[in-house]
Structure 1
């Protein structure tokens, strides 16, 4: 069997499209007749259909469970003091928790705050050493640490059943990402909570991600051109070249901000001009520079250096014939010395020519999949740029609508986003508990809005935001009306656009 996990990544309509996934279908030609299973927990009906097409399913064949989580209460809490609110929630609600933050720096800051309040916490992000990540993950899974404060790098493959609380300090940029991260709570079937802490500035911050994620085409072409200067790449050269890449140095040299420059390189990857890899973990390596018998004759070795050498010899083999990958964190655990001390002693041993030590580093790479092209010939197709940007904007609008709505059940909104329409209000989200959630629309309001919306979308489809602007109607009411009409088959919704049913 060929099994494709996180299969929404194969769809350009999916929220986490990865071009490499498109190559998976080629395996079918090498293994004809072998069954294919595609798995995902975060796909809209449109993406489900696309996954099957891209994996060359002979006919549509979908096994679908409901997205409903009856034990999970979705809460949006408006606050301008998120850290105080977080502390209040954690002190009131016992049990294991995940707190998601947008930046690496913020994960460290929040962890320090929690520890200062007597709450056991660790931070986790992609920039940490693998051994540190493994250690912190195990501490949390074994309940030695109550709260893990993390970026979205944390969670893939994590199946801790008794997580009682997931808190988002910053808004994710899609309902899919939110649903996946929030869904790590309550996997044991017991009552759990998914909380978003929302402030007025979050909406602006989220919308700012659009130009950061999809900078102007001219900007992207400038980044491509400057990349050639960076590597001194001649026209027509470059195909199949693999180059180490330092984003900070590149941005400093050509005066770019890192986030949009990173996004530009990702778009150039989608367009097929190069492959920009994320940081590749190159673990530390050592080899002994002297023979084994010479090592035993050494004199005047500091006690700690001697202890570290003995630890290395016990932990690793083949060090006298070839480089071996080592972990400074593991050596710290084995020797009882702090990591900075281990690092310092390794450098001392290298200076004395006892070992050759190549420290750990994380290195992104640029791989040229085509020869260098003239800037004018660079083509960013609609499917690579405009279509993906429009879908990104649609997801952000859906996320903003989710947190700002005050009259629609949170669970119902998420279920409708993923194509489920036959559910009642959950009775446990903040909207339901406040008594503001409505099941159905008043008949007179429905009739009045229905005619106006159908008239507006007669000639060409519009976004809900466009409709709201033209009708000057309460956004929650309008959302309910549109969703009702879509559910009843009187309107069609595709890529965030509302139009007549074909």
Structure 2
């Protein structure tokens, strides 16, 4: 058994790697910069975790979502692997302690949000770390052509200059050929090196249902379906409404979105993962880092705004390799909504500038000040103060982020934390001199470990129950101990942060570039068109359409999607259908009459007629004004 398999077995309990995992690990082990493309649920994080555990030193993991970062750190710690995280919203003292641990505490993984790379504190300390690997999770975020581009990811390339001999492993589940090339360029790969598995999922059946009454169809479909499922919707309000409706129809369901408190989200996840609730109705906040292999169906009530997003969410079904279904409910209103969304996603440049000015005024920043400062940001409070629509604020911030003026972090849900600022001897002296605090300090020390070496998450309500006092009294004790500099106490907070990457500038100097507005808008429209094409197409296998989008042009028909099943009813074999289609297409590139077409096709006449009729019904062949037929382009 080689060392990589030994590590996998020791910490994860598996005796063998999934496809491609070991090839990626060995590629990095040979010192090669590597881009690993693996489908959702393919075990991307295991590749950099196993490699780093096989070497002395620490792995830097760059990942965009703080919630996902915290989940991975917790999972590693539960496996007995020392890991920690640094992200916006932590205090200077928290960051200092975390960097001390990373440098001298035998930690194996340091997770970073990308904007931390640019900070002076991190750059000053980076050389104290014995870094064995730079791992870039969700690597498509570094490409301006990726569906979730984050400008702060561009700072990762600066690590190459700070750590010139350290290899880079970038991983992602969804990337087009253009994005694949861009990732490697942006990360300064010394040599192009892509390892990939096909995106084809033989067990996953893709279906599109054109339904005017989507809600009625959804209820009936979920009632009939067996096993666990996810229903994706686009608004938080709808998660609750659909969940309530399913329960009214005797389906055990619950709802989930990013606006719920952390404890409630965790409880809902666990209830669904354990099978207590069969269906979870969620926004796209649900799924990242959720490891549940036996999801039998994923249903999208509305069309997402990119094929990448749909493919990733749909791919959460059937990770155990058993049959599963991914269903998109679609009708003409989806197309209209997607097209209207363009205006929302790209506010007018003057509006974006007004929002920039309002944010600077909100934090009382003078021109020339604010660089590298971060602020808690309540989007609702800000929008209300200045009478902006929340969607307009959010999308304007995204464009300002692309331009490199500021960063908006994802919503942070941090529990309260405590760290003892005095050593045990000084604490004992304080307890003797201040008897009123003695019982509370003992309760704190009995309830939590590690308080002298790190910030530890605490639960005021749990402590109150144990002491049989009110949570308010616990809060008062903690606050008074902080005032006396015995502890550092950081109360629970739930908010995103805004980080000013540059100092405030005058509005006449604020530029919204063509690349980050017109070009991105055109790219966004292209993505919407691709979704509409996928949903409205009735002539090509769903799996083939998806794979073609990601550059796999030689894939075969799945034989199980709604398009393939309709073809199967013709009683024409898959091979014969495809052969006749190719012949008909070649002939009809030059328009001709129906009676002139049939003699030019080599095949059984009855089958030729069936295929031509099917192509007409699905509008791949159309009649011109002069009654000649032609192959429809696009």
Q: Determine if the TM-score, normalized by the shorter chain, exceeds 0.5.
A: yes
- 2:436 paired residue number: 294
Matched with 2:142 is 10
* Distance in 2 separating the partners of 1:215 and 1:57: 36
Alignment deviations for residues 245-304 of structure 1 (CA, whole Å, 9 cap, x no partner): 22222222222111021110111111011222232223235899x978437999xxxxxx
Paired with 1:199 and 1:328, the residues of 2 have a C-alpha distance of 49
- The 3 A distance-change label for structure 1 pair 135 and 476 is farther
Matched, 1:346 2:471: yes
Q: Where does structure 2 lack aligned partners over 5 or more consecutive residues? A: 1-132, 421-429, 482-488, 571-576, 592-617, 623-629
Task: Show the 5 A alignment for 1:241-390.
Answer: 241-284=373-416, 293-294=435-436, 315-316=447-448, 325-327=457-459, 331=462, 345-347=470-472, 360-390=492-522
Q: Does 1:148 align with 2:273?
A: no
> Which residue matches 1:419?
551
The answer on 1:189 being equivalent to 2:321 is: yes
CA shift at 1:364, angstroms? Answer: 2.2
Q: Quick one: structure 1 residues 172 and 181, their matched pair in 2 at CA, closer, same or farther if it must change by over 3 Å? A: same
Structure 2: how far apart are the matches of 1:68 and 1:353?
Answer: 55
Deviation at 1:445, TM superposition (A): 5.1
Contact 1:107 1:149 in 2 (8 A): yes
Q: CA offsets per residue over residues 360-399 of structure 1, 9 Å max, x none?
A: 3322222222222111111122222222111111011110
Counterpart selection for 1:228 from 341, 345, 360: 360
Distance 1:312 1:192 in 2: 48
1:58 to 190, 215, 239: 190
Give the whole-Å Cα distance in 1 for the aligned partners of 2:268 and 2:631. Answer: 44
- Length-normalised TM-score, structure 2: 0.63
Quote the offset at 1:163 in angstroms.
Answer: 0.9
- 1:187-236 deviation line (CA, Å, top 9, x unaligned): 11111100112233221212222111111111111111222332333222
Paired residue for 1:211, among 343, 357, 360? 343
Q: Is the Cα contact below 8 Å between 1:99 and 1:166 reproduced in 2?
A: yes
Query: What is the alpha-carbon distance in structure 2 between the residues aligned to residue 274 and residue 286 of structure 1?
Result: 30
Deviation at residue 416 of structure 1 after TM alignment: 1.0
Q: Is the 8 A contact 1:41 1:180 kept in 2?
A: yes
Write the deviation string for residues 120-176 of structure 1: whole angstroms up to 9, x where unpaired: 222222222223323322332222321122211111122322111011112111001
| Distance apart, 1:359 and its partner CA | 5.7
* Partner SS, residue 193 of structure 1: strand
Structure 1 counterpart SS, 2:266: helix
Shift in Å, 1:183: 0.6
- The 1:348/1:165 distance shift into structure 2, 3 A limit, reads same
Residues 192, 477 of structure 1: CA spacing in aligned structure 2 closer, same or farther, 3 A cutoff? farther
The answer to whether 1:125 aligns with 2:276 is: no
State how far apart, in whole Å, the 1-side matches of 2:283 and 2:460 are. Answer: 24
CA distance 1:120–1:335, shift in 2 (3 Å): farther
Question: Are the equivalent residues in 2 in contact too, given 1:159–1:184 (CA < 8 A)?
Answer: no
CA distance in 2, matches of 1:166, 1:450: 42
Higher relative contact order, structure no. (Cα contacts within 8 Å, ≥ 6 residues apart): 1
2:346, 2:439 → 1: CA distance? Answer: 62
Please give the alpha-carbon distance, in whole angstroms, between the structure 1 residues aligned to 2:368 and 2:406. Answer: 14
Q: TM-score when scaled to structure 1?
A: 0.78
Q: Distance in 1 between matches of 2:450 and 2:465?
A: 20
